[in-house]
Amino acid sequence: MSVDLSIEIGKLSLKNPVMLASGTVGYGNEISEFMDLSKIGAIVTKSVSLKPRKGNPPQRIVETPSGMLNAIGLANVGVEEFVKSKIPFLEKVNSTLICNIAASTIEEYVECTRILHSEECIKGFEINVSCPNVKEGGLVFGNDSSAVGRITEKVRAVTDKTVIIKLSPNTASITEFAKVAKQEGADAVSAINTMVGTSFDIYSRKPKIKNITGGLSGPAIKPVALAKVLEISRNVDIPIIGIGGIMNWKDAVEFTICGATGIQLGTVNFINPFAALEVIEGMERYLKEMKLGSIEELVGTYQL
Amino acid sequence: MNIYKAPVVSNQKIGKLTYLLKAYSPEIANNISPAQFCNIKVSESDFPLLRRPFSICDVDDKHIYFMFDIHGEGTRMLAAKNEGEKIDVLSPLGKGYALDDDYDTAVLIAGGIGAAPFPFVTNYLKGKKEILSFIGGRSEENIITYGFENYVIATDDGSSGFHGNVIELFKSRLNSFQKERIKVFGCGPNPMLRALKKLCIGENINAEISVECAMACGFGICQGCPVENTEEHEKYSLVCQDGPVFNVKDVII
């Protein structure tokens, strides 16, 4: 018996629900040394912004219990250079490409999307309204549902490709944000971005990362991410892409059961660059074992 | 670049805090250059979660060697690995020293556990270049001479060799070199590398340093290990991908 792993998000059909999360695979070049990228559902690029961003000074990362804090600061080459130097590689990768976009103003989100809309190899956009590590934009938007609504509406107006809004867990009610995103025409939401955290050296009494706070990722945040996915799933009728500490196929299945149509792998790519392929194989085996013909039959099948 | 499960052949204590781990892996041994590094997952669980970067210490036809000090839980777990246990190694990573340039004498300068890449460097250079090594440490117990040849020692507390830091020792010997015919290779803590960079640039000596930085992936995807470079101020270099070895003229540390 073969199982159907394909999913649909807006106009996008993905061959399976496993995506590589933004900021954890660069633009795909390095990870392509480990695996055939055509086998995975989609690659979500490192955030692209209108202008190049140098990113934060070191130290940018530190390991914490079952997780890591990062404050990269959206280091990226900027949209112009992205089109010039990264797109040619990405065109050759036989994988679905979703471009993550970050900005400090609503106009920048729109302009960046508009420029990239005309690139044929980009099949969709993930709008990062929730980066915790930049001073302007980022979380300011992620904490203001009316701003997220305006960004969604304006981005939607310049592209008919799939638009996904990446939500912050650092809010009182994620449901409110998912509702606004849906209302303004988003095709899906991804949840969650990293959680704000910090870590100090007890001898120097200094923060272990230069930015003082960073975004917590890894297995440590999985229960939070699952709860957020479940909350959205129970309250808003919109496809959800689950992200947060997924390390293996069992985690991916758990997110699917809690309502995630697709899932993204992040921190695990740093540790095991083959993880995406292992997750796809594991999900397939699980569906067979459970005698399910497709992944869609599993989405949101929680028994409360 | 690939992941290998390498069985531990031996794991010896060679200093007060220093271990030398030997593992079987012809694939890694035959595809790695001096001062490149490996990223090792020391446990199968989520603790520690991330891999830990280790300079390749030496190789023979079938084996790889890692030299490390116990600094935290990761290195403590690595030190506890027994013969036959497998280590999970991502390799080869980064760019190593350019050892084949036109020079006569290789000056190797190590501070503390910065000695780690030099046994491989020494073996590589043997018979090709003259080698002179300067080994520094806080105290005698921090001096690692394993795999070095033709070395002098400096300790901060004067408990062994020259009383002072290793860069001062090198500086005191500068007159005995033909400066344009040497190349310096440094590895050690950042303050040492900073002093070495200043000295070599001031004296117009060709020098490369291996820089240390916390990192997650080790191959460029996490962007976690930036280092300021002298050419493009708009952009950082990455220690894992652009380094860990840099010419002293190219980085600001």
**What are the tens digits of pLDDT across the range A40-53?**
999 999 999 999 99
Touching check for A247 and chain B: CB below 8 Å? Answer: yes
- Among A139-148, B52-61, B231-240, B241-250, the minimum mean pLDDT is found in A139-148
Confidence of residue A93 (pLDDT cuts 50, 70, 90): confident
- Chain B residues near any Cβ of chain A (below 8 Å): 1-3, 41, 46-51, 90, 213-217, 219-228, 234-236, 241
In whole angstroms, what is the distance from residue A36 CA to residue A28 CA?
11
- Cβ separation B236–A23 shorter than 8 A: no
Domain contains B236: no
Range of the domain at B16: 2-93
Give A56's contacts in chain B (Cβ within 8 Å): 226
The answer on B60 and B14 residing in a single domain is yes
In tens, the pLDDT along A260-300 reads 999 999 999 999 999 999 999 999 999 999 999 999 999 99
Domain contains B217: no
Confidence of residue A248 (pLDDT cuts 50, 70, 90): very high
- Cβ separation B46–A62 shorter than 8 A: no
Out of A55, A59, A269, the one facing B223 most closely (by C-beta) is A55
Confidence of residue B89 (pLDDT cuts 50, 70, 90): very high
In tens, the pLDDT along B179-216 reads 999 999 999 999 999 999 999 999 999 999 999 999 99
Out of B90, B216, B234, the one facing A68 most closely (by C-beta) is B216
Out of B47, B219, B222, the one facing A61 most closely (by C-beta) is B222
Confidence of residue A143 (pLDDT cuts 50, 70, 90): confident
- In contact, A250 and A280? CB cutoff 8 Å: no
Give A63's contacts in chain B (Cβ within 8 Å): 48-50
Domain contains B234: no
Residue A91 has pLDDT above 60, yes or no: yes
B109 closest CA partner among B101, B100, B121:
B121
Domain contains B247: no
In tens, the pLDDT along B4-15 reads 999 999 999 999
Domain contains B204: yes
Give A210's contacts in chain B (Cβ within 8 Å): none
Q: Please report the pLDDT score of residue A136 as a whole number.
A: 57
Domain contains B193: yes
- Cβ separation B217–A60 shorter than 8 A: no
Residue B237 has pLDDT above 80, yes or no: yes
Domain contains B240: no
Instruction: Give the nearest chain B residue to A52 (CA atoms).
Output: B234
The answer on B167 and B83 residing in a single domain is no
- Among A30-34, B10-14, B92-96, the minimum mean pLDDT is found in A30-34
Tell me the shortest Cα–Cα distance from B223 to chain A, in angstroms.
7
Touching check for A157 and chain B: CB below 8 Å? Answer: no
The answer on B131 and B82 residing in a single domain is no
The answer on B206 and B143 residing in a single domain is yes
**Interface predicted TM-score (ipTM):** 0.94
The answer on B206 and B146 residing in a single domain is yes
Residue B58 has pLDDT above 90, yes or no: yes
Choose one of B72, B93, B114: the last residue of a domain: B93
* Interface A-B: count of C-beta contacts within 8 A: 94
Tell me the shortest Cα–Cα distance from A150 to chain B, in angstroms.
31
The answer on B78 and B8 residing in a single domain is yes
Percent of chain A with pLDDT over 90: 85
Catalytic residue numbers of A read: 131
Domain boundaries, chain A: 7-60+74-197+218-297
Confidence of residue A104 (pLDDT cuts 50, 70, 90): confident
Please state whether the predicted TM-score (pTM) of the whole model is above 0.90.
yes
Confidence of residue A132 (pLDDT cuts 50, 70, 90): low
Residue B234 has pLDDT above 90, yes or no: no
- Cβ separation B222–A58 shorter than 8 A: no
Tell me how far CA of residue A194 lies from CA of A47, A100, A269, B24, in angstroms. Answer: 14, 15, 15, 39
Which superfamily is assigned to A7-60+74-197+218-297 in CATH?
Aldolase class I (3.20.20.70)
Number of structural domains found in chain B: 2
Give A46's contacts in chain B (Cβ within 8 Å): 223
Residue A232 has pLDDT above 70, yes or no: yes
Choose one of B47, B70, B93: the last residue of a domain: B93
- Cβ separation B214–A59 shorter than 8 A: yes
Give B219's contacts in chain A (Cβ within 8 Å): 30, 33, 273
Touching check for A124 and chain B: CB below 8 Å? Answer: no
Q: DSSP of chain B, one letter per residue? A: -EEEEEEEEEEEE-SSSEEEEEEE-HHHHTT--TT-EEEEE--SSSSS-S-EEEE--EE-SSEEEEEEE--SHHHHHHHTPPTT-EEEEEEEESB---TTSS-SEEEEEEEGGGGTTHHHHHHHHTTTSEEEEEEEESSGGG---TT--SEEEEETTSSSSEES-HHHHHHHHGGGS-GGGEEEEEES-HHHHHHHHHHHHHTT-EEEEE-----SSSSSSS---EEEESS-TTSEEEHHHH-BEEETTTEE-
Q: Which of B49, B93, B237 to mutate to test the interface with A (most CBs of A within 10 A)?
A: B49
Touching check for A176 and chain B: CB below 8 Å? Answer: no
The answer on B112 and B81 residing in a single domain is no
The answer on B206 and B123 residing in a single domain is yes
Q: In this structure, what CATH number is given to the domain that contains residue B26?
A: 2.40.30.10
Tell me the shortest Cα–Cα distance from A92 to chain B, in angstroms.
19
Tell me how far CA of residue B101 lies from CA of B93, B98, B166, B179, in angstroms. Answer: 21, 7, 24, 15
Domain contains B246: no
- The pLDDT of A20-25, averaged and rounded, is 94
Out of A61, A218, A269, the one facing B224 most closely (by C-beta) is A61
Choose one of B210, B226, B244: the last residue of a domain: B210
Beta strands in chain A (DSSP E): 7-9, 12-14, 18-20, 42-44, 61-64, 67-70, 96-101, 122-128, 162-166, 188-191, 195-198, 213-217, 240-243, 260-265
Touching check for A10 and chain B: CB below 8 Å? Answer: no
